[in-house]
Amino acid sequence: MYYKITFSLSVLFCFISFQLACGQQQVAGKSEVLYNGIQLPEIWPPRNIDPTSNEPIVVPYLAEKPKVIDISVGRQLFVDDFLIERSTLKKVYHKAKKWEGNPVLLPSTLWEKEQSLGGNRDVVYLGHGGVFYDPSEDLYKMFYTAGWRGGLALATSKDLLNWDKPALQSDGSNLLLPKGRYNAGEDNALWLDLNTKDPKQKIKMLTDRRTNDSLSGRHSLLISDGKTWSQSIQVNANYGDYSSFFYNPFRSKWVFSIKKSDEGPRSRMYLESDEFLDGWDWKHGSVFWTRTDKLDIPDLVIRDIPQLYSLNAVAYESIMLGEFYLHLGPKNEIANANKEPKITELGLGFSRDGFHWLRPSREAFIEAARKEGAWDKGYIHGATGVCLVKADSLYFPYTGYSGLASDGFRGMYTGASIGMATLRRDGFVSLKAEQIGEIVTMPLQFTGKYLFVNVNCPGGSLRAEILDNNDKIIPGYELQDCLIVKSNKTLHRIEWKNKKDLRGLQQKRIKIRFVLEKGDLYSFWVTPDIYGASYGYLGGGSGGINGVIDTKGLLNY
């Protein structure tokens, strides 16, 4: 009974704190201050990114960090140096692992195997699409395109690995929108909005109407409850194909990720609004956002300059996680002549203000197989929602093209299937100790009281001590009194001999010193919940959680 009462009060306390931190941002002058202490410039979004430069884009909050960082929301990841004051540990970047049972979704229906433009066939693809967990039905949902430029279809799953194609129409098909209706079947991007109070807006969609002879106004917005669709609202702007959108809950903004390819290599423009259907300044509100640079690695065989083909993003724990589609070539006419898919791969970026991205590793996070006969030989795509959480793992849905149909036909956009790649939870970057090392954080403040870590050190150890803002050890939190951690867990509580938690240190400026021996530290967080709920974001969702915020911790493992 004690734990049930504690858990309920913890949830209420953290919910109130979260709303204050993220829903009602502080204002300093005219500029916005985010929950983590980052102050945005008065001119927002920034308009100072040079689209012609080949230099990496500067991330301002890393150049000038806040004096104190609030860590009340979500797991704290070491994807950059934002949290680190000093460290002797080695930073290691980790790639996703393709599931050995891939692909999880193959073309099988009449519409998916249908021959389309250029003879391309045998296609199920995300492009952007969307993969999310829907707690109202306790199902993972995959919104995808059935056939090359086909209709909008739905697949469902209980475990992210085994997918069904439910009968949604009288003809038994799993189509949500047939090809051509509202111009579905072009470049579709969808979002399952679990925050909306209007059931009619649960699904939000952007589609690209390629049948329109004029590029101006070719994009449309739609909303749906999953059964009935609204009339399309035309986007009155000249945007390139393959544009998408996402939601930034840290600032309560909808963001358009706009493809720019009219001048120079493919890159992205940025546009934001408080509402999905209204408030967009289509013609004047977009600004240049991000691009590839000199650190991006050309394909060793193709040798073309890498281009930014697309960019999806989602809130994961305390950051925005970006999925960068890197176009490595060759040009369409060459790939079409060779009757094989062009090469795109997925890389990762991380943002704490929702605009500036750090891409610390330029190796592919999910790479093209590049092998004849491989289902994912090339043309790799991700999905809106980016990733989903399942216990200790993150799941990344992705499309791959083989260039080969079941009847032997070859084509640039032929033979597409959908697979899964996995990663340890929080496992993008770890701080590694070959022998022994330490990290001291920047000055922190928080509203919780239990310290948790994600660590892998069964053959070594991890200990922590708490320092004040002047690096003096706070009595009771000495390193020698910390209960030694020797485990491989994505959720482990830190305790001291006479201090089970950080009670009394809330809202005070402290630092945490971690000493690690022979292991990897992936993240840490402070929470009011004894079960380790982080109250951070879960990407496209997590089975068993009603929403996209971690409210269960160990109770959901």
Least confident of 39-43, 222-226, 257-261, 312-316: 257-261
Predicted pLDDT of residue 182: 62
> Taking a C-beta distance cutoff of 8 angstroms, is the pair 108, 174 a contact?
no
401 φ/ψ angles, rounded to the nearest 5 degrees: -115, 135
pLDDT band at 27 (very low <50, low <70, confident <90, very high): very low
CATH architecture of 2-29+68-94+428-536+544-556: Sandwich (2.60)
User: How high is the pLDDT of residue 212?
Assistant: 46
The phi and psi torsions of 227 (rounded to 5 degrees) equal -125, -50
Q: Which residues of the chain form CATH 2.115.10.20?
A: 97-424
Per-residue pLDDT for 475 more than 70?
yes
Given this model, what pLDDT does residue 184 score?
Answer: 66
- Residue 465 has a CB neighbour count (10 Å cut-off) of 21
Average pLDDT in the chain: 92
Average pLDDT in the 413-442 region?
A: 98
- For 97-424, CATH number out of 2.115.10.20, 3.40.640.10, 3.40.80.10, 3.40.50.620 equals 2.115.10.20
Q: What is the mean pLDDT of residues 488-514?
A: 97
Stretch(es) of the chain classified as CATH 2.60.120.260: 2-29+68-94+428-536+544-556
Of 514, 504, 512, 510, residue with least CA distance to 484 = 514
pLDDT score of 188 more than 50: yes
Residue range 33-48, pLDDT digits in tens? 999 999 999 999 999 9
Span 469-492, average pLDDT: 98
Residue with tokens 């300093």: 28
500 φ/ψ angles, rounded to the nearest 5 degrees: -85, -15
pLDDT band at 178 (very low <50, low <70, confident <90, very high): confident
DSSP annotation string for 6-35: HHHHHHHHHHHHHIIIIIS-EEETTEEE-T
pLDDT tens digits along 84-126: 999 999 999 999 999 999 999 999 999 999 998 789 999 999 9
Indicate whether 15 pLDDT > 60.
Answer: no
- DSSP-derived secondary structure for 374-402: -TTSEEEE--TT--EEETTEEEEEEEEE-
Tell me the CA distances in angstroms from 191 to 33, 64, 168, 428, one per residue in order: 27, 34, 19, 24
Q: How many CA atoms lie within 13 A of 479 on its CB side?
A: 13
Q: Are 113 and 107 in contact (CB under 8 A)?
A: yes
Q: Does 488 score more than 80 pLDDT?
A: yes
Give pLDDT tens digits for 46-67: 999 999 999 999 999 999 999 9
pTM of the model: 0.94
How far out from the chain centre does Cα 85 lie? 26
- 280-307: average pLDDT: 95
pLDDT above 70: percentage of residues in the chain: 92
User: Using CA atoms, how far apart are residues 406 and 208, in angstroms rounded to an integer?
Assistant: 29
- Mean pLDDT for 248-267 is 91
Is pLDDT above 50 for 26?
A: no
Rounded to whole angstroms, how far apart are CA atoms 509 and 70?
A: 9
pLDDT in tens, 299-344: 999 999 999 999 999 999 999 999 999 999 999 999 999 999 999 9
The string of pLDDT tens digits covering residues 351-367 is 999 999 999 999 999 99
Q: Is the pLDDT of residue 25 over 70?
A: no
pLDDT tops 60 at residue 20: no
Contacts 24+ apart (CB under 8 A), 252-260: 252/22, 252/23, 253/354, 255/313, 255/354, 256/206, 256/280, 256/286, 257/289, 257/310, 257/311, 257/312, 257/313, 258/286, 258/289, 259/309, 259/310, 260/51, 260/288
pLDDT at residue 1, rounded to an integer: 35
Q: What is the pLDDT of residue 13?
A: 43
pLDDT of residue 214 exceeding 50: no
Identify the band that residue 2 occupies on the pLDDT scale cut at 50, 70 and 90.
very low
